[in-house]
Structure 1
Amino acid sequence: MRICFVSNLYPPNVLGGAEIVVEKMANAMNKRGHTVIVITTSPDDSMHILKEEGITVYQLNTTRLYPTYKQTEPQGVKKPLWHVFDLWNNKTLNVIKEILVKESIDIVHINNFKGLSLSCFKSGKDLDIPVVYESHDFSLICPRANLIRGNNTLCQNRNVICNEYVRVQRKLLSDNVDLVISPSQFMIDTFRDNNFFNNTDCVKIPLGVEFESNRTVKNYDTIDITYIGTLGKHKGVHTLITAFKQINNENIRLHIIGKGYDEEEFKKMGDTDDRIIFHGFVDNRDILKYYEMTNILVIPSICYDNSPLVIYESFSTGTPVIGSSIGGIPELITEGYNGFLFESGNSDSLKEKLVKVINDKELLKTLECNAFDSLPSDSMEIMISQIIREYDQLVEQ
């Protein structure tokens, strides 16, 4: 089969987990003998065609005002204008259609699309090629994609401008999607609650990891607590730092891995505590060693995370997870079995769960065993097989 993955970002241009998931899918499909191409945005003003281990990557330069991978940097009027321009882009539509014809594509698998506009969905429909949408965020129902307001609180009711933005997106998307895939039921339900995909088949397919499952032998002399992800307030890193600093124990360490627009503020929060270590951005190919040395992974999000890849990766090494009871996170963490859940944004609630695990090594060891059993050893193979079955059904229709 000839598969086209569409993703607004693709390594080495990385801002979050979605583009890493796309790369893993593309590599896995390629290894299975399928022909894979990737369409993404360009990091500069030029179009590039790259060849990477048998995969052709088209980097398009159709984005206006600023490159997609710099979306965390612009301030002021540029951001809302960028979103308006990005609603529909005929240049993107025509370029993608040319690529799909040139590459004789059988199926289009769209992931995060901001920067390529909603026109990318129509490209497949115009050519009678089945279109799959795998949703990693809430871009269709929120300009910020995370349902978080500017003051870092959950958006419970959209304002008039956002309502109009969503209405326009719903109209432009039309019936250009044949199948929706999501790793969490929460995201599927949220879209349908907002009148998206009510008449479109939606299927939950959990993520897979490339790491060979290998339960790590842990050290308990020092309890290593780790956060891996974007350094933004919507991810609740400040909640984690606050909770950690309140724990009076010299034999614990907090490792913070990632980059983001609130990074400097978080570093200032941790300045007075030598137990807090910032490692900066770590390439996904080098991340395994951090899971292996970690006793507890923490996902402190205050936004509706979909199905964080880091939880799957953590389980593959037998590392339990403490996460916010929000979004798709509770679909992965079973309280007291492979980790714990805490009230999102509540540092006291998080502190209580951390102390519970830190002070009970036998509990921690039990959580490790259960975490390892929470992920099938062939999770990537299971995910790819499920996706291929969906592809086959669409192509045969």
Structure 2
Amino acid sequence: MSKLNVILVSGSRHTIPPNKNSPGVPRIIEALSKNDSASMSYKVLSKYEDNLDHKAYDRNKYLHIKPTPWNRFFENILHYVPLKIKKRIFGYSLEDRIVYYEGIKRFIKKEKPDVVITFMHFELFKKLCKAYPKAKHIYFFRSTDLKLRLGLKNIDFLLKNSSGFLANTRAPIDELKALSPNLNFPTQTIYNSVNLSDFSDKISDGLSKQYRKEFNLTSSDFIVGYAGRLSEEKSILELFEAVHYLNNKGLKIHLFIAGSIEIETTPNIHYYKEIIKFAEENLTDQVHFLGWLPNKELYEFYNAIDIGVLLSKYSEGNSMFLIESLSMGTPIIATSIGGNLEIITNGENGFLIEVENVKENLIEKLEMIANDKKHLNQMSINALNYIKQHHTIDIMVGKFNNFMQNFEA
């Protein structure tokens, strides 16, 4: 019996195997791809990076759309095509994405795989379904609010052309089943996950003290941490205002903020200047901007903070910041939206607060937990235990392998 040829396609412009600066998705795709069996053989298709030439990896499994003279010429031509026309023809307008996706399409038509799993962008999923309809196509949706993100027209395309559906939260699967009660293809939630050896073995009071010392802070200082985009939707100003209010009440809280406006794709410069100004005027020695931190250094950050915050206002999928923080025994205060609701149990491994009252709820929770170290310590234990029971890579790979059994001959 011949093996099924399965290709995992990354719609994001990050290379796989991941490098030290890679976000969570490339690392998850790599983990899922390492599961060749008697019936299935996996390959991964992602964007090429120069550093791959000097990296040791399986070049038969990890394939890349490499730059060619034709690609460069095509991208230069696209630069002069109006945005509206590019979007009408391709469904998106970024030149490098167009070139990358067209390269993926040519590769799939040439490779003729049995199964294609497309991560991230739905326009790429549509393109590959049309380019090679003989394959079984599976879409891996990595957000919440399926109808809002895709629209009914695209959901209709999904229902007619997909052989399976994966998501990193339960919500979009529930939504899809509600829209199509007689759904005729398999679904599965594959949450973000961590390799506990990457994080949990580095939980250390000594490491925390060492990191804090760089900022003239001690183990008794209470530190709240956030890592991510410095945008309005993450409620950073509300966080600063809550800490300022508690400071005036006599409770001094320090903030570690990891992120860089310079690497954001759609930076809100006006908002960034607003939070910087507020910090300089009201929290001069309490807000510590750490800049962007590569993944390999985040464990030090998680070790150093007492509690993290994830205060998204509009949507939130299955945040790697959330999962990784919990895996280091760091509880999270999160807004009660999207994937946060599937991870945080209020009062056990963190707190859920309402979007409509972020500042007021933060003040209440921060004041309470800063003065109740016993509760904080128990939540820390609960956080790590939750990850061990629900979000290790082995657990998610097992779910993925069970899902893929639906496509065995």
CA gap of 1:141–1:311, structure 2 versus 1, over 3 A, is same
Q: How many angstroms does 1:105 deviate by?
A: 3.5
C-alpha distance in 2 between matches for 1:94 and 1:305: 30
Q: How does 1:1-397 map to 2 (within 5 A)?
A: 2-11=5-14, 20-32=23-35, 35-40=42-47, 53-54=57-58, 55-58=62-65, 84-87=88-91, 95-103=103-111, 105-113=113-121, 116=124, 118-124=126-132, 126=133, 128-137=134-143, 141-142=147-148, 145=149, 166-173=151-158, 175-192=160-177, 198-212=183-197, 213-214=200-201, 215-217=203-205, 220-248=219-247, 249=250, 251-259=252-260, 260=264, 261-262=267-268, 263-272=272-281, 273-274=283-284, 275-346=286-357, 347-376=359-388, 379-396=392-409
CA gap of 1:169–1:104, structure 2 versus 1, over 3 A, is closer
Q: In structure 1, the residue corresponding to 2:161 is in which secondary structure? A: coil
CA gap of 1:7–1:353, structure 2 versus 1, over 3 A, is same
CA gap of 1:298–1:121, structure 2 versus 1, over 3 A, is farther
One-letter code aligned to 1:105: P
**Which is further off, 347-356 or 195-204?**
195-204
Q: How many angstroms does 1:317 deviate by?
A: 0.8
Identity of paired residues, percent? 22
Q: How many angstroms does 1:84 deviate by?
A: 4.3
CA gap of 1:174–1:334, structure 2 versus 1, over 3 A, is closer
One-letter code aligned to 2:280: D
C-alpha distance in 2 between matches for 1:243 and 1:25: 35
Q: Structure 2: any 5+ residue segments left out of the alignment?
A: 17-21, 210-218
Partner of 1:159: none
May I ask how many residue pairs the two structures share in their alignment?
353
C-alpha distance in 2 between matches for 1:292 and 1:66: 46
Q: Structure 1: any 5+ residue segments left out of the alignment?
A: 14-18, 68-76, 146-164
Structure (1 or 2) with the larger CA radius of gyration: 2
One-letter code aligned to 1:118: K
Q: How many angstroms does 1:301 deviate by?
A: 0.6
Q: In structure 2, the residue corresponding to 1:287 is in which secondary structure? A: helix
Structure 2 length as normaliser, TM-score?
0.73
Does structure 1 conserve the Cα–Cα contact (< 8 Å) formed by 2:169 and 2:318?
A: yes
**Which is further off, 89-98 or 332-341?**
89-98
C-alpha distance in 1 between matches for 2:183 and 2:24: 26
C-alpha distance in 2 between matches for 1:198 and 1:280: 45
C-alpha distance in 1 between matches for 2:234 and 2:181: 25
**Which is further off, 385-394 or 86-95?**
86-95
C-alpha distance in 2 between matches for 1:355 and 1:254: 14
Q: How many angstroms does 1:283 deviate by?
A: 1.6
Q: How many angstroms does 1:121 deviate by?
A: 3.7
Structure 1 length as normaliser, TM-score?
0.75
Q: How many angstroms does 1:102 deviate by?
A: 4.4
Q: Deviations over 1:213-271 (max 9, x none)?
A: 34443664111211112222223223322222222156421111123413444323322
C-alpha distance in 1 between matches for 2:174 and 2:85: 30
CA gap of 1:375–1:174, structure 2 versus 1, over 3 A, is closer
CA gap of 1:116–1:381, structure 2 versus 1, over 3 A, is same
Partner of 1:74: none
What is the root-mean-square deviation of aligned Cα atoms in Å? 3.7
Q: In structure 1, the residue corresponding to 2:230 is in which secondary structure? A: coil
Going by fraction, where is helix more abundant, 1 or 2? Answer: 2
